[in-house]
Amino acid sequence: MASSKKLISREEWEKRLNNVKIRKEDMNKLVMNFLVTEGYVEAAEKFRMESGTHPDIDLATITDRMAVKKAVQCGNVEDAIEKINDLNPEILDTNPQLFFQLQQQRLIELIRNGKVEEALEFAQEELAPRGEENQSFLEELERTISLLVFEDTSNCPVGELLDISQRLKTATEVNAAVLTSQSHEKDPKLPSLLKMLIWAQNQLDKKAAYPCINDLSNARLEDPTF
Amino acid sequence: MNSSNSNSNNGQSNSCKSSNFDNLNQDLGLHFLELARIGSSKTPVEMEEDEEEAPKELNTINSSGGFLVVAPDKLSVKYTSVSLHGHDVGVVQADKPAPMRRLLYYFEIYVKDAGAKGQIAIGFTNEGFKMRRQPGWEVNSCGYHGDDGLLYRGQGKGDAFGPTYTTGDTVGGGINYASQEFFFTKNGAIVGTVSKEKEMKGHLFPTIAVHSQNEEVHVNFGQKKFAFDVKEYEAQERLKQQMTIEKISLPPNISYGLVRSYLLHYGYEDTLNSFDLASKSTIPPICIAQENGFDEQDVVYALNQRKTIRQLIRNGEIDAAMNKLRDWYPQIVQDDKSAACFLLHCQKFIELIRVGALEEAVKHGRIELYKFFGSAEADDPFDDLVQKCVALLAYERPQESPVGYLLEESHRDVVADTVNAMILSTNPKMKDVHGCIQSYLERLLRQLTACCLERSANGGQGETFHLHRLLNSSREI
């Protein structure tokens, strides 16, 4: 495997790095975009004041969105649904998958709190009709209901439904749906740029030996290995 | 090779601290002077690329003259001879090679008349191609042939590829730089793709060929609407690439950590406090362990002072800022000819102009700015900036002048960033000069840009990377 890789010295590479023109405002925008998309309202407001960067979304809408997310994260699904509909009733109308997920979470919470009768009633009235229309909903419903027959849920095959990660997953999707309905991108740009960096380095590795950054958290440049 | 005024820090001892500091001082400040220059151009900060030329018509100079005739508009060709063997093919290339700095390139042919035998071909060939052979019959060429529907890639025998094509068909050929493939279409639908072998690097010319009597082919280099929806195809391919990138996994909480260290680096204290407070109540709580590499020693230093001075500068209160500096960090304002002092003096001048106090501005200029004029060096950043600042005096409405950008908030920010870096450099625990100037986030973005530029340099292929555009577009990355 002949190596026809071009070698770029550290000195040369650092010169190139210094020649890159990055605007402070662009970096500020990137940070603001992160704060806003992830829902750090007060921080976004302070950042606006301290840096003069304008948020690309109305900060008032963030508070509402965060309230919804929090409600889901805490397992207050009924509250969350009410809040979403207050924000924009179309969100759940146009998102049957999301709505089902929320209803499923509600069922999980009822089961978690030992409210067996209520759980069964809820499942029969609200979830079963959905299950009849949609195969994957039905499967999820069956998985969830099966929680009831286990005394020790920590070891059962569907135990993961009770895990907090299930709530977080739903919360993330609710967050994304709300952002999308507000015509905003649902993901912050920063993680994508970081992934692009990893990808670009991998691609360049095929053609050249050059100083690369292996640890993103301290951005340290490693000498090229040949 | 050890130079006495190198940037590398090898254990500053107190005795030589001031001399090391001078070197640091100059280097740090100069960096920001350069930044002040960037603000002067209205165009985006990326390098201007040479506009890559695209094929527009057929090349009549190198086509296989005796066998074919190219129409005067250079967009169609007819085989006039009677073909006798395999070396009298009528081949025509485009006038320019396919441009490479994009995701893909595409062109189409329309078969007006398949003639006696329908031996038409569409494909790509390199510059030195033997112009009497079908594209694909020689190395460094490829061709999709209409008579047998085979794909030829550098040898006499072709591979099964797609349907044949004849009179009335529209056939397209393209290069996908992202996936490194050739692709062909027929009447608006994809026929197939093949990998663009390694030999086929370098410039590739869109090529068409006719070989039997009366064959006639028209070519479309994009002047007319294509039968194939190439824009849609391009969007799909771009999406594929994005999905590959999206799948890459990141260390947990890395974005959070980078944002945090950015705030610390520039001294955005209030934001940082709100950020930390909110993170405590996040579910699940975010914690950055020390082993993740976030070393706060360097940047927590003087957080409140840096924030205070930044706010003063952002409000245009330069005198107040300089007073604070004299109180807290006299070593920074000690050398009046340092880049940092220079920037502050210029900013004071600019603020006076902003409020219309022109006489005071002139007075200030006579005291503080005159000494930066007329350096012998060409391209001296001090001279450059001071001239531009003073030029503000000449305009009734300076903000609308070519030097109006100096009055913008972004310029105040450059001064604030300079002072911030200088304060960070006074930290006795500071090990890395670089760390004063650039946050980790900035370094990562520079690395990203440099890698992408290297990939597309020297005849590289694929879309070029534009950080500024990416950050300012409203679509998802």
CATH number of the domain residue B196 falls in: 2.60.120.920
Which 3 state secondary structure label does DSSP give B77?
strand
Q: Are residues B169 and B93 in the same domain?
A: yes
Length of chain A: 226
Reply yes or no on whether the pLDDT at A213 is more than 80. yes
Distance of CA B239 to the CA centre of its chain: 19
Tens-place pLDDT, residues A52-95: 999 988 888 888 898 999 999 999 999 999 999 999 999 999 99
> What's the confidence (pLDDT) of residue B262?
96
Cβ distance of A40 and B274 shorter than 8 Å: yes
Co-location of B262 and B401 in the same domain: yes
Q: Residues of A numbered 121-140 whose beta carbons fall under 8 angstroms of chain B's beta carbons: which are they?
A: none
For residue B468, name the pLDDT band (cuts at 50, 70, 90): confident
Query: What is the tally of helices (H) and strands (E) in chain B?
Result: 15, 13
| Residue range of the domain that includes B321 | 21-44+253-438
Residue B219: strand, helix, or coil? strand
Res B38: pLDDT = 66
pLDDT tens, residue by residue, B363-401: 999 999 888 887 666 677 888 888 889 999 999 899 899
What is the distance between the alpha carbons of residues A43 and A30, in angstroms, rounded to a whole number? 14
- Per-residue pLDDT tens over the stretch B271-305: 999 999 988 877 666 766 544 444 555 568 899 99
Average pLDDT over residues A190-198: 95
- Cβ-nearest to A194 among B244, B254, B271: B254
Question: Could you identify the residue written with the tokens 């362990």?
Answer: B289
User: What integer is the mean pLDDT of A106-117?
Assistant: 91
* φ, ψ of residue B336 in degrees (nearest 5): -70, -15
Residues B114-162: tens digit of each pLDDT: 988 899 999 999 988 888 889 998 888 999 999 999 999 988 788 999 9
Kindly state whether residues B39 and B67 are assigned to the same domain: no
> What is the C-alpha separation between B209 and B200, in angstroms, rounded?
19
From the list B248, B274, B455, which residue is nearest A46 (CB)?
A: B274
**B90: nearest Cα among B132, B145, B59:** B132
Structure tokens that stand for B20 in this block? 């090391």
Query: Nearest CA to CA, how far is B101 from chain A (Å)?
Result: 16
Residues B259 and B207 in one domain: no
Closest to B332 (Cα-Cα) out of B361, B312, B309? B309
Report yes or no: B217 and B68 within 8 Å, Cβ to Cβ: no
Report pLDDT for B199.
64
Confidence of residue A131 (pLDDT cuts 50, 70, 90): confident
- Domain-located, residue B452: no
Residues B232-286 have pLDDT tens digits of 999 999 999 889 999 999 998 899 999 999 999 999 999 999 999 988 877 666 7
Q: What pLDDT is stored for residue B80 in this prediction?
A: 85
* Nearest one of A199, A3, A32 to B447, comparing CA atoms: A199
Report pTM. Answer: 0.79
Residue B71 maps to a domain:
yes
- B258 and B369 in a single domain? The answer is yes
pLDDT band for B188, please (50, 70, 90 cuts). Answer: very high
Is the pLDDT assigned to residue B11 strictly greater than 60? no
Would the CB atoms of B445 and A22 count as touching at under 8 Å?
yes
More confident residue, B231 or B68: B231
- Contact indicator for A153, A162 with CB cutoff of 8 Å: yes
Q: Identify whether residues B216 and B266 lie together within a single domain.
A: no
Q: Do residue B259 and residue B197 come from a single domain?
A: no
Same domain, B39 and B92: no
Whether residues A42 and B274 touch (CB distance < 8 A) is answered with yes
Cβ–Cβ gap B271/A50 under 8 Å:
yes
pLDDT of residue B459: 57
Cross-chain residue pair A199–B244, CB shorter than 8 Å: yes
H helices then E strands: how many in chain A? 12, 4
B470 and A31: CB-CB below 8 Å?
no
Is B278 in Cβ contact with A193 (below 8 Å)?
Answer: no
Say yes or no: A208 contacts chain B, CB-CB below 8 A. Answer: yes
Q: Which residues of A touch B46 (CB under 8 A)?
A: 21
Burial of A160 (0-12, 13-18, 19+ CB in 10 A): exposed
Distance (Å, rounded) from C-alpha B460 to C-alpha B376?
A: 41
pLDDT exceeds 60 at position B102 = yes
Q: What is the pLDDT at residue B299?
A: 64
pLDDT of residue B201: 73
The single-letter DSSP state of residue B84 is -
Residue % of chain A over a pLDDT of 70: 98
* Nearest-angstrom CA–CA distance, B99 and B366: 55
For B116, what's the count of Cα atoms within 13 Å in the CB-facing half-sphere? Answer: 12
Amino acid, single-letter form, for residue A155: N
Quick one: B342 and B429 in the same domain?
Answer: yes
Query: Closest Cα of chain A to B453: distance in Å?
Result: 10
Q: Is residue B77 domain-shared with residue B157, that is, in the same domain?
A: yes
Which residues in chain A are closer than 8 Å to B262, comparing Cβ atoms?
27, 31
**Number of structural domains in chain B:** 2
Q: For B324-353, what is the mean pLDDT? A: 92
CA distance B329 to B258: 28
B102 is written with which tokens?
Answer: 């994009």
Phi, psi of B276 (to 5 degrees): -65, -40
Q: Alpha-carbon distance A66 to A175, whole Å? A: 8
Interface of A with B in 164-183 (CB under 8 A): 164, 168, 171
Asked if B270 and A213 come within 8 Å (Cβ–Cβ), the reply is: no
Q: What percent of chain B has pLDDT over 70?
A: 85
- The answer to whether A218 contacts B293, with C-beta atoms less than 8 Å apart, is yes
pLDDT (0 to 100) of residue B437: 86
CA neighbor of B134 nearest in space, from B152, B116, B147: B152
Whether residues B198 and B270 share a domain: the answer is: no
Mean of pLDDT over chain A: 89
Residue B445 CA to its chain's centroid (Å): 11
Helix (H, G, I), strand (E, B) or coil at B252: coil
Residues B393, B430, single domain; the answer is yes
| Sequence-distant (≥ 6) Cβ neighbours of residue A147 within 8 angstroms | A108, A111, A153, A156, A158, A161, A162
Contacts of residue B320, defined as CB under 8 A and 6 or more positions apart, other chains included, come to B312
Q: Which has more pLDDT, A220 or B26?
A: A220
DSSP character at residue B186: E
- The pLDDT tens digits of the residues spanning B52-66 come to 788 989 888 887 777
Q: What size, in residues, is chain B? A: 477
Confidence of residue B40 (pLDDT cuts 50, 70, 90): low
Instruction: With CB atoms and an 8 Å threshold, state whether B448 touches A74.
Output: no
Task: Collect all residues of chain A within an 8 Å Cβ-Cβ radius of residue B294.
Answer: 217-218
Please state, rounded to an integer, the average pLDDT across all residues of chain B.
84
